[in-house]
Amino acid sequence: MYRRFIGNVEVPALGLGCMNLSHAYGTPPDPEAATALLQHAFDLGVRHFDTAALYGFGANETLVGKALKPYRQQIHLASKCGMTGVGGKRVIDGRPETLMRTIDEALERLQTDHIDLYYLHRWDKSVPIEESVGALSRMCEAGKIGAIGLSEVSASTLRRAHAVHPIAAVQTEYSLWTRNAEIAVLDTCRELGAAFIAFSPLGRGFLAGASCKSDELLAGDIRRNMPRFQDPNFYENCVWLEQFAALAQEERCSMAQLALAWLLTRGDHVLAIPGTTSVAHLEVNMQVLDRELTEDTLLELDALIKPPMIKGARYPVATQLEIDTEEFV
């Protein structure tokens, strides 16, 4: 089984992203079904669970806290601050006073006295990163969090933050069709001893073969506004997706398994947190921990899916301006 370190904590290389149990992909499952999935994930060996104050505007932290309370001492719990729901709207706010309030709210919802890994969900560019990380460091000193993480930041911002307090993990979208991390931050994480946590490792369902063309998705699904899922980009991306599906068939695995297996070869500091509302998909994903790809297959994948071939930005313009990750020219 692939195992990786987040700070000084060793966990399986696949965790669970909990967002879509409450948020972002249309109608979420009912709490009973979501609780059952979380607990089944634990039974399957998942130990790293990832949530955030933003997801469901607190509802996901509440769900995760209640469902996993019986296993709290056996799991590595991650959450995020700096992007929350205020008056029904998503707000980025990295001021120290806001972050200090958010951690107390999160601890109450999660029914715990500490969070193992606490991320700054987005860098609030109106606040120096040093100030936001300074607030997170005070949470460490108070025993409220075990380690600090950053999400969607560039290598230069990571270095500035790391100079204030060691950064245990960086979480950024990374998959076969989102390779921005390879520009700089992936290697910078390795250099600084930080874990790299890949969210959306299945391309928000696209790499798993899900039907996710924008105009066919349910209202409330964030992919409806993402350029990659809109015409003509969606159809152009489907050209190489057919070849990817054929390669998965040759490897006698699912498309999701092939995408995840590739990701776990990107470095011994790389972990992934695929999310799902399906117990069946969860079980299939976890089987990747027992699978290795040959060098020939890896070369074939890299030849098949390259950044210039990916059509469409991963976020709409307004959202793209909020993140700090490097972009291919």
Residue 109 near residue 65, CB atoms below 8 Å? yes
Radius of gyration of the chain (CA): 19
Instruction: Considering only the C-alpha atoms of the chain, give the largest distance between any 2 of them, rounded to a whole number of Å.
Output: 54
In angstroms, the CA 173 to CA 72 distance is 27
Judge whether 304 and 244 are in contact, CB under 8 Å.
yes
pLDDT at site 1: 62
Q: What angle do CA 69, 79, 224 make, to 5 degrees?
A: 115
Domains of the chain, each with CATH number or no CATH: 3-320 (3.20.20.100)
DSSP per-residue string spanning 87-121: TTEEEE---HHHHHHHHHHHHHHHTSS-BSEEEES
Q: CA end-to-end span of the chain, whole Å?
A: 37
> Where do the DSSP E strands lie in 93-228?
117-120, 148-151, 169-173, 195-199
What does residue 158 show for φ and ψ, rounded to 5 degrees? -60, -45
Q: What CA–CA distance (Å, rounded) separates 63 from 203?
A: 25
- Per-10-residue mean pLDDT, the chain, length 329: 93 98 93 98 98 97 98 98 94 98 98 98 98 98 98 98 98 97 98 98 96 91 95 94 96 97 97 97 96 95 94 95 93
Model's pTM, two decimal places? 0.96
SS3 173: strand
Q: Is 55 a catalytic residue?
A: yes
Supply the pLDDT for residue 110.
98
**Which pLDDT value is given to residue 329?**
78
Identify the pLDDT of residue 195: 98
Annotated active-site residue in 55, 118, 119, 174: 55
pLDDT of residue 26: 87
